[in-house]
Amino acid sequence: SLSSNSSLSFNPCHRSPRTIMEEYHKPDQQTVQALRNIASRLRINSIKATTAAGSGHPTSCCSVAEIMSVLFFHTMKYRPDDPSNPSNDRFILSKGHAAPVLYAVWAETGYLKESELLNLRKVDSILEGHPVPKQQFVDVATGSLGQGLGAACGMAYTGKYFDKASYRVFCLLGDGEMSEGSVWEAMAFASYYQLDNLVAILDINRLGQSDPTPLQHHVEKYQRRCEAFGWHAVIVDGHSVEELCKVLNQPRHQPLAIIAKTIKGKGIPAAEDKMGWHGKPLPKDMAESVIKELQSRILSCNKRLYPSPPNEDASPVSLRNIRMPSAPSYKAGDKIATRKAYGIALAKLGRYNEHVVALDGDTKNSTFSELFKNEHPNRYVECYIAEQNMVSVAIGCAVRDRNVVFASTFATFFTRAYDQLRMAAISESNINLCGSHCGVSIGEDGPSQMGLEDLAMFRAIPTATVFYPSDGVSTEKAVELAANTKGLCFIRTSRPENSIIYNCNEDFHVGQAKVVYKTNDDHVTVVGAGVTLHEALAAAEQLKKGTEKINIRVIDPFTIKPLDSKTIIDNARATRGRIITVEDHYYEGGLGEAVCSAVVNETGFTVHRLAVSQVPRSGKPHELLRIFGIDRDAIAHAVRKVLSSSANAK
């Protein structure tokens, strides 16, 4: 068995009654030496791998060798043969560029072959330059600095409040990345929610990439900052395995920050605490001599350390087939904003699936995630006004398939979390995001609140599905489909109330558009979504009743990505290739561009686009739709223009 409590035991001969608690976790000399030996081997393997790769960050690995040794061979409880076991303690390498030392640790546990380490960064190896979840022992991709602690918060929140399990979460950060605001968003979240199962280890090695860090080795400043954020903060010598063992075994009532004073490049004499070595592998001959020296520090020791197994108290969870038990219950002609339909749908989904959780950034009575909170208060996480952290927490809650996560805020505020969203794709994360208040149709609040880039942003993410529902029924279907769709799902909701246009039994699928208005003699195909779909329907009525009696076809794409090219092309062919797109979004990257790319190979097609072309302003929704040329009149005008120009072309 891999469990061996002997690695944690004390020497009974030294026991005195007064210090029994203090000494209980104190490692014996054999253990201390074994931990030091592991640290030396981690340095050796980090140097070997980066020198073989010809790139990488050996000095960033060397400052954390003792920290990694103690964490993985003294502190953490996990099954090394089953790195993603739900009961294991979690580890997040926020300073992802130190990946080689993480790989070296897993070689040390026996999970990776030591020889595999030499394939670091090769195109056919899983050992990429930075951690990615194709490695079983990685939950979230890191490498964009400042994001690990937010994800760790999501995991710790899940452990404490959802799983109610005993696993703990350890996150290792660089001091350079402490300049990221997102780190401090996470610090505030962790203390507010009393995540006493969370430990952050700050590797204070004084140096960043091109310059020393702003606080250099002023560890007491880090301590004061961490304390100000509500953490218990302890300064240690990050190269002392005894100090690390001691601090990591303290009982906790708060999140714990271990401020580890270290030396960048420790063990590489020419690079120790020196500028100019960040991200540089050692030349071969230098590597050889350093490794020789490091090897001489490995003292024989008859103790082999094994990690302790976890308490098996986080049972596997099935997130398959998260279904609504009944159809939506809207009546034709009812009016409801899709943002409200989102809240209703999410609360309903939560009623039947206990692993559905919701997050919001203090906008819950605007996005209507409040309806979920009212019904399921224990599964709602208020993330406050920290959208980057909210996305990272969502990612953390979703790892190891513990929860089906929905996070909402105004669509436009996801822009500030774009790096987190991009990393969510690399993390193979299955989070769902709902962005309300899209477009100029929010009205009076003005441009700072209007989501006008969100479609472009989410469409560019390879693993994303983009839902843009247009009524209450399709919004409820979007929520259900998102819960069952892998990758990132984005649901774009609107503020104005619009009519229910679908029958409650209408079937919806990802990538399947609906033809919502059609006759046998249509002249133009109009594609709209959300409020502009309703404007297009009004334009259709207007054109039919007008003196010209023009019939148009109206399509609701339902998902903007994937876009139902076939339905659009087949219907547009019936209208002689004439397409008008109309969207409450900027021109770039939205619905119009999606349709253009879909019909790029069709001959004789013309796409006329209506979208928002300038920074908008405050006003009434209908005024803004008119001013920015995306209302019913603008659509009718565009239809006439398209028809007259094609008539002139004949």
Ligand X SMILES: *[C@@H]1O[C@H](CO)[C@@H](O)[C@H](O)[C@H]1NC(C)=O
Residues making contact with ligand TPP (CB under 6 A): 57, 60, 63, 95, 97, 143-146, 174-177, 203, 205, 207-209, 213, 264, 278
Cβ closest to ligand TPP, residue 85 vs residue 144: 144
Find, among 267, 219, 333, 257, the residue nearest to 62 by Cα: 267
Q: Angle CA(419)–CA(424)–CA(426) in degrees, nearest 5? A: 100
x-marked contacts with ligand X along 332-371 as a string, rule CB under 6 A: ---------------------------------xx-----
297 Cβ contact list (under 8 Å, min separation 6)? 36, 37, 40
What is the spatial distance between Cα 626 and Cα 649, in angstroms, rounded to a whole number? 29
Cβ closest to ligand TPP, residue 262 vs residue 353: 262
CB 325 within 8 A of CB 352: yes
CB 156 within 8 A of CB 87: no
Q: Which residue has the tokens 């920074």?
A: 615
Cβ closest to ligand X, residue 455 vs residue 482: 455
For the segment 223-282, give every residue that binds ligand X (CB under 6 A): none
Closest approach of Cβ 98 to ligand TPP, in Å? 6
Cβ closest to ligand X, residue 87 vs residue 436: 436
User: Residue 612 belongs to what H/E stretch?
Assistant: strand 606-612
Cβ closest to ligand X, residue 2 vs residue 600: 600
27 binds, among ligand X, ligand TPP, none (CB under 5 to 8 A by kind): none
370 binds, among ligand TPP, ligand X, none (CB under 5 to 8 A by kind): none
x-marked contacts with ligand X along 573-602 as a string, rule CB under 6 A: ------------------------xx-xx-
Cα 318 to Cα 89, 463, 473, distances in angstroms: 20, 22, 27
Cβ closest to ligand TPP, residue 391 vs residue 526: 391
What is the spatial distance between Cα 451 and Cα 442, in angstroms, rounded to a whole number? 9
Closest approach of Cβ 458 to ligand TPP, in Å? 21
Closest approach of Cβ 410 to ligand X, in Å? 11
C-beta atoms surrounding 371 within 10 Å: 21
365 binds, among ligand TPP, ligand X, none (CB under 5 to 8 A by kind): ligand X
Closest approach of Cβ 180 to ligand TPP, in Å? 7
600 binds, among ligand X, ligand TPP, none (CB under 5 to 8 A by kind): ligand X
What is the spatial distance between Cα 232 and Cα 222, in angstroms, rounded to a whole number? 12
Cβ closest to ligand X, residue 385 vs residue 600: 600
What is the spatial distance between Cα 434 and Cα 300, in angstroms, rounded to a whole number? 57
609 binds, among ligand TPP, ligand X, none (CB under 5 to 8 A by kind): none
Closest approach of Cβ 150 to ligand TPP, in Å? 13
Phi and psi at 253, nearest 5°, equal -125, 0
x-marked contacts with ligand X along 600-619 as a string, rule CB under 6 A: xx------------------
Closest approach of Cβ 566 to ligand X, in Å? 10
CB 231 within 8 A of CB 257: yes
Residue 583 a catalytic site member:
no
Cβ closest to ligand TPP, residue 53 vs residue 598: 53
Find, among 578, 556, 569, the residue nearest to 640 by Cα: 578
Both structure tokens of 272: 């120790």
601 binds, among ligand X, ligand TPP, none (CB under 5 to 8 A by kind): ligand X
x-marked contacts with ligand X along 147-176 as a string, rule CB under 6 A: ------------------------------
Closest approach of Cβ 61 to ligand TPP, in Å? 8
Binding footprint of ligand X, residue count (CB under 6 A): 6
Q: Angle CA(325)–CA(330)–CA(331) in degrees, nearest 5? A: 140
Cβ closest to ligand TPP, residue 47 vs residue 537: 47
Q: Which residue has the tokens 């890191």?
A: 142
208 binds, among ligand X, ligand TPP, none (CB under 5 to 8 A by kind): ligand TPP
145 binds, among ligand X, ligand TPP, none (CB under 5 to 8 A by kind): ligand TPP
Q: What share of the chain is helix, strand, coil (3-state, %, to 5)?
A: 45, 15, 40
Both structure tokens of 349: 């989904």
Instruction: Report the length, in residues, of the chain.
Output: 650
Cβ closest to ligand TPP, residue 143 vs residue 435: 143
97 binds, among ligand TPP, ligand X, none (CB under 5 to 8 A by kind): ligand TPP
Closest approach of Cβ 365 to ligand X, in Å? 4
Cβ closest to ligand X, residue 337 vs residue 642: 337
What is the spatial distance between Cα 130 and Cα 225, in angstroms, rounded to a whole number? 28
60 binds, among ligand X, ligand TPP, none (CB under 5 to 8 A by kind): ligand TPP
What is the spatial distance between Cα 411 and Cα 115, in angstroms, rounded to a whole number? 47
Pair type for strands 552-556 and 514-517: antiparallel
Both structure tokens of 171: 């996150």
What is the spatial distance between Cα 522 and Cα 88, in angstroms, rounded to a whole number? 61
Find, among 240, 236, 235, 96, the residue nearest to 171 by Cα: 96
| Burial grade of 283 (CB within 10 A; 0-12, 13-18, 19 or more) | exposed
What is the spatial distance between Cα 395 and Cα 488, in angstroms, rounded to a whole number? 10
CB 158 within 8 A of CB 402: yes
366 binds, among ligand X, ligand TPP, none (CB under 5 to 8 A by kind): ligand X
Q: Rule CB under 6 A: is residue 648 a binding residue for ligand X?
A: no
DSSP output for 136-156: TT-SS---STT-HHHHHHHHH
DSSP output for 389-415: HHHHHHHHHHGGG--EEEEEEEGGGGG
What is the spatial distance between Cα 482 and Cα 359, in angstroms, rounded to a whole number? 15
Nearest residue to ligand TPP, using CB? 174
Closest approach of Cβ 88 to ligand X, in Å? 40
Find, among 549, 460, 452, 463, the residue nearest to 492 by Cα: 452
From 128, 177, 387, 535, active-site residue: 387
Give catalytic residue positions: 387
Residues forming the site for ligand X (CB under 6 A): 365-366, 597-598, 600-601
